Structure 1
Amino acid sequence: MRIKIKIRCKQCGERFTLRGKKDRGRIETGFKQCLCDNRDQFEIEEEGMATGIQLN
């Protein structure tokens, strides 16, 4: 299932809107890091619903 994901970097505030694939409760977007080289601290919103997901 394809879903819309909004990602906000907690370090610099940069925002990204991506489409991802949800499978078994996990979301795959291909997103690896922010422009500021942050790889872990993100606020992720799935179709208007905030989640506690962290990308590693």
Structure 2
Amino acid sequence: MDEARIKVSIRCRLCGEKFVLRGRRDGGRVDTGFKMCLCNNTDDFEIEEMPV
């Protein structure tokens, strides 16, 4: 069976852009495939997990 998916809200703390993605729990972390914001920010994000 497939791993449980969760919805993740990612907000860039530099420009304020918001992304809502689906991800999978991989051990203790969540993998969404998200790498970088439109403003080239790669590490300053506010991340919130939401139930699907």
Runs of 4+ in 1 over 3 A off after TM superposition: none
Number of equivalent positions: 48
Say which one has the larger Rg: 2
The structure with higher relative contact order (CA 8 Å, sep 6+) is: 2
Residue type of the alignment partner of 1:15: K
Unaligned runs of 5+ in 1: 49-56
Q: Structure 2 length as normaliser, TM-score? A: 0.87
Root-mean-square deviation over aligned CA pairs: 1.1
Unaligned runs of 5+ in 2: none
The question of 1:20 aligning with 2:52 is answered no
Q: Structure 1 length as normaliser, TM-score? A: 0.81
